[in-house]
Amino acid sequence: MKKNIGLISLDSSLLKWLHEKLRISAPDIQGKEELAEGIEDLLSGASSSLMLELGDGETPLPVNDVIQCGNLAIYARSRKVTRDNGEISLTPKEFDILYFLARNRGEVFTKEQIYQAVWESSYLLDDSNIMAFIRKLRKKIEPNPDAPEYILTIWGIGYKFNDRL
Domain assignment of residue 85, yes or no? no
- CA torsion angle 34 14 99 80 (round to 10): -60
Q: Which CATH number fits the domain that encloses residue 115?
A: 1.10.10.10
Domain assignment of residue 79, yes or no? no
Same-domain status, 103 and 150: yes
- The lowest-confidence range among 12-16, 50-54, 75-79, 121-125 is 121-125
Q: Which domain holds residue 153?
A: 91-161
pLDDT (0 to 100) of residue 108: 94
Confidence bin at 42 (pLDDT 50/70/90): confident
Same-domain status, 95 and 55: no
Give phi and psi for 85, each to the nearest 5: 65, 5
Instruction: Please name the amino acid found at residue 150.
Output: Y
Domain assignment of residue 114, yes or no? yes
pLDDT higher than 80, residue 55: no
Number of domain units in the chain? 2
pTM of the model: 0.62
Which residues does 113 contact at the CB level (< 8 Å), separation at least 6?
2, 3, 5, 158
Confidence bin at 127 (pLDDT 50/70/90): low
pLDDT (0 to 100) of residue 2: 44
pLDDT (0 to 100) of residue 134: 96
